[in-house]
Structure 1
């Protein structure tokens, strides 16, 4: 048989990759937020029907999530959402505390005010996601906001590390926070961080980022926090 291939033959692969990304993003958000609780079984055929796609991009997306330790394969059943250990959550938070608060303190010294309107809009999207109970929008806007700020320091490796650590963070108590003051308060912190950066106040920017990351082992993990935190 010949091996000639037309350009049109590449398109289905591109479409599968796009669908794979869509499925992974949606399932990832549901797992991160706790909407899909640890222990929940996920059936590839069922998910394929839900997304109205073939099983292939769904299976590929689940294998990607398995690499992130979000799910584990269960023979002849599908994938089970993994249990996130307190130690793993704490370790990830500790590394983020070493990187992100100092980064925001440094950014306050060189903050580009021309980018403020765009960042305010992203912060508004986070607040709207919390207000409307749209956790996928909340999480995607939150990720975009923090990576955009980190990128302004001009260190691609730092952005890559922060993105990876944030991608590993499970916020299993987030879904339970819908319509709560805690979710609204944590959303508003993004505007407070921008206020500090706009003033050039590195001390406050560092403290806000430290407190914000602390929610990953507090409110967002389904645990209480004192007002002092």
Structure 2
């Protein structure tokens, strides 16, 4: 069970429990088929049953868990076809967004994003998947937000929230997570240089990890 994170200002217990469990499910720390019970989780997180129950119902709506009569909730599996569909949509949106951002990337924000990329690398090296995923999400959504299209940010956030990366746990024993983390600094290099084509290509490669390394599978070659 992942360690619960420090409560951020304005964040409810319900939100904290949901975020922690969702991250564990996305990363594969809580594998498909795992049975979760409200009393056990409430004790684990040192909170009352109410925010846990509410969080589980939210996760059910997201398709992350399903109710098991008189037992609790079971972590659901996501089919390869659904994951591929989600990734295909992301490939239509995110690489193009980075290509459009490159010519207008604000140089004054570079160090801010370097710090975010450092947090991703730190999470990978520490084997802290919760920190890794949260920093990764903030980095990519904050970059996309620079384009000024709130609907695009919301759409990408939703797609990322539905992307399961169940192979991440197995990457902790390899160098692949470090390689993936380092790509964030590479992306910033291309954005800072105004290299739209390179930024687009790297973002496409980065997203494909979702059906490769991050899914516990070999990386597919370009065009496959």
TM-score, normalised via structure 2 length: 0.93
Checking the alignment, whether the CA contact within 8 Å between 2:68 and 2:74 is kept in structure 1 is yes
Matched, 1:19 2:13: yes
Checking the alignment, whether the CA contact within 8 Å between 1:104 and 1:150 is kept in structure 2 is yes
Deviations 1:26-64 (A, max 9, x none): 101100000000000001100000011111100100111
2:3 match: none
SS of structure 2 residue aligned to 1:197: helix
Q: Give, in angstroms, the shift of residue 227 of structure 1.
A: 7.1
Deviations 1:76-125 (A, max 9, x none): 11100001100110000000000000000000011001111110000000
Out of 125, 129, 132, the position equivalent to 1:131 is: 125
| Superposition CA RMSD, Å | 1.6
Please list every run of 5 or more consecutive structure 2 residues that lacks an aligned counterpart in the other structure: 1-8
In the aligned structure 1, how far is the partner of 2:213 from the partner of 2:150? 30
2:67 match: 73
Deviations 1:118-150 (A, max 9, x none): 100000000000000000000000000000000
User: 1:23-172 alignment to 2 at 5 Å?
Assistant: 23-172=17-166
Matched, 1:187 2:181: yes
Q: Give, in angstroms, the shift of residue 179 of structure 1.
A: 3.3
Checking the alignment, whether the CA contact within 8 Å between 2:166 and 2:214 is kept in structure 1 is yes
**How many equivalent pairs are there?**
215
Checking the alignment, whether the CA contact within 8 Å between 2:212 and 2:220 is kept in structure 1 is no
Q: Give, in angstroms, the shift of residue 226 of structure 1.
A: 5.5
**Structure index of larger Rg:** 1
Checking the alignment, whether the CA contact within 8 Å between 1:131 and 1:179 is kept in structure 2 is no
Structure 1 moving runs of 4+ over 4 Å: 226-229
In the aligned structure 2, how far is the partner of 1:75 from the partner of 1:56? 18
My pick for the range that moved more, 131-140 or 178-187, is: 178-187
In the aligned structure 2, how far is the partner of 1:112 from the partner of 1:180? 35
Checking the alignment, whether the CA contact within 8 Å between 2:27 and 2:168 is kept in structure 1 is yes
